[in-house]
Chains A and B, each alone.
Chain A
């Protein structure tokens, strides 16, 4: 990926965009080498490697790739030297080149031509807009080069796509619109809106059956108004689940929050309408118990231990996607049911405090220490 800035040193949306995009892509199992003019510091993201001209060992001559400016302002010749370095970058195992805006378009185009790899260019803004109609010719040229040579162009809005077609001669077929997004913490604050939330909260491990949650979501999704499905937690299954969500066409209806803080967990439980724990194996299911204690009606698999201590929960065979989907729909569809089950669940969990468990555990100690039950 050819970029410019990256957190912690960034001035605009481009740095955030590259950072968040790489974070998500690596979660899905992709690996990324981020090429920028500056040596850092870079906020670390697992699966992302950083390269810059300063660490190139094979300078054709001393100073050939030397970048003298900074992300805030480059100096004369920086752009040329950055592009020259890009053009000769050893492509290795990389399948694809993705360049952002105009900085590295010339070098990326040459790299793509030389290596036979496809080129994607994301346009965040155009020189026409940035200069309020007085474009700098050289930058304009670099933008045109990128748009013309890229196999796909990503525009951050329809408005931008039209500009690219009309002013840069881009073929509409190869321009895709993918909007910018907001980061998890901001999104969490937005969750308290009116949308109904169906929540999975737990580790993303195979035994948790989160794929059943996603497949059930896909069966529920067509109803209007569509609920929002939230997956909170991290784990080894994350890449597979993200790909599954994409394949099920759920991009607009599933929110993967990753690891969440205690505070975020409380926010989520306050906002959710339905809790689902579709575990293949679940000795107890503390997450469901806590959701019920928060008054959220829960659907758990029949194998969950929690089903042994309360009737105020729907139980479903862990493999029965349609039954999970039906139970979710029923709770979304019938507000009386949602309230009655939520209230009953909360009441049943009142009696399940850790104090009682500690007393019971102490009871086991007594059995041993005093030599058996009285």
Chain B
């Protein structure tokens, strides 16, 4: 059994309060200082201590392997807020035992936009990884582990050897997540299915004192893995699981450190990067006519586009994208893409199923989804105004179509 530990590193450019009265004022949409302050806080609690333990494990355990995805917006913020974190990441990649994954630079929902947006953003990200780490990934992960037949075809067209997918019953149809699969419409693309039970034992349940398995030790956890039939066990989770979602006081960092040596001591277990795992022969093909993700109980895009606010904001962003591309100004395109980051839509999530609602509130930087929507729309309206100005000189912007009086 090969263990694939894959951790996701992302920070969005959160928006500052941009009031309706600020339209046309030239105020920036993003409060850079505040974002960097947040980044520094997480670096202190999570990035630095976790990376230090991973680096130590790589030195100590020659068999230990790890895979990381790092978004473009994360790289931008790291360079400004904590260059040492970026330097540590480079050292990790240089070991040759840490694989990087491709994705959209802006952690966006670009796969729902007309081409060539998705290609452009994946290309931007490839370029950033080449620049920062000198590597070219062979495996693609889409924002929030979104996956569909269409995305598999895209990955094939972009010459990726594999993609990540949620190991959810809806797509596995009774098969275990511990096989390597391939995409039905694109057999050259191998699929690694997230073992969500084992992944969420660490990601969600580790510090829950009401959990029957609390406290979770590396020994117990590795025993579970060893007892799982199959070829690969895919442990995919947010990097911030370690030290941020679960504070250091929960013992999560010691747990992480203990994993590699416990695995070494267990016969039949070894580590693999995503690149190594997708090289294994696929057992079956999977098809996904609709998009699945790793979020919430429904494993769909409901967390980003489930309600009217989110859909209306995304549709507006889509329409403004046409103007922005037409305007042809790089700074407008960059601003627009920063607004496509999926987190902005996540903040507009309303209420919902008990556990999920709590998770959403935890990640939001707004008082309410309405707050998030109004602020986002104001920024978008202002961007629209700037694009129109660029396009038509003194032309008076007409009322946007989502906003005609009824």
* Contact B350–A336 (Cβ < 8 Å): no
Interface residues of B in 356-388 (CB under 8 A from A): 367-371, 373-374, 377-378, 381
Say yes or no for B406: interface residue by CB 8 A criterion: yes
Say yes or no for A117: interface residue by CB 8 A criterion: no
* Contact B367–A312 (Cβ < 8 Å): no
Interface centre among B21, B351, B367, B371 (most CB of A within 10 A): B21
Residues of B near A314 (CB, < 8 A) are 370-371, 374
Query: How many positions in chain A have a CB within 8 Å of any CB in the partner chain?
Result: 25
A296-311: CB near B (< 8 Å → 1, else 0) gives 0100000000000001
CB distance from A373 to the nearest CB of B (A): 25
Interface residues of A in 309-339 (CB under 8 A from B): 311-312, 314-315, 322-323, 325-327, 329-331, 333-337, 339
Name the CB-closest residue of A to B311. Answer: A336
* Contact A312–B19 (Cβ < 8 Å): no
* Contact B19–A322 (Cβ < 8 Å): yes
* Contact A340–B21 (Cβ < 8 Å): no
Name the CB-closest residue of A to B309. Answer: A340
Bound CA–CA A323/B20 (angstroms): 8
Name the CB-closest residue of B to A347. Answer: B351
B21-51: CB near A (< 8 Å → 1, else 0) gives 1100000000000000000000000000000
Say yes or no for A293: interface residue by CB 8 A criterion: no
Chain B contact-residue range equals 20 to 34
Residues of B near A330 (CB, < 8 A) are 20, 374, 377-378
CB distance from A347 to the nearest CB of B (A): 9
Cβ contact of B370, chosen from A326, A335, A340, cutoff 8 A: A340
Say yes or no for A194: interface residue by CB 8 A criterion: yes
Cβ contact of A340, chosen from B20, B350, B402, cutoff 8 A: B350
Task: Known A225-B405, A322-B21, A326-B19; judge A339-B374 contact (CB<8 A).
Answer: no
A interface vs B, CB < 8 Å?
194, 219, 225, 297, 311-312, 314-315, 322-323, 325-327, 329-331, 333-337, 339-341, 344
B interface vs A, CB < 8 Å?
19-22, 307-309, 312, 350-351, 367-371, 373-374, 377-378, 381, 402-403, 405-406
Sort A-B residue pairs by CB-CB distance and give the 7 closest, nearest first.
Answer: A326-B19, A329-B20, A336-B312, A326-B20, A330-B374, A311-B368, A326-B21
Further contacts, 4 of them, CB under 8 A, given A219-B21, A315-B367, A335-B402 = A314-B371, A326-B21, A333-B20, A335-B403
| 24 A-B contact pairs sorted by A residue (CB < 8 Å) | A225-B405, A312-B370, A322-B21, A327-B20, A329-B20, A330-B374, A333-B381, A334-B312, A334-B373, A334-B403, A335-B403, A335-B406, A336-B308, A336-B312, A336-B402, A337-B309, A337-B370, A339-B308, A340-B307, A340-B308, A340-B309, A340-B369, A341-B370, A344-B350
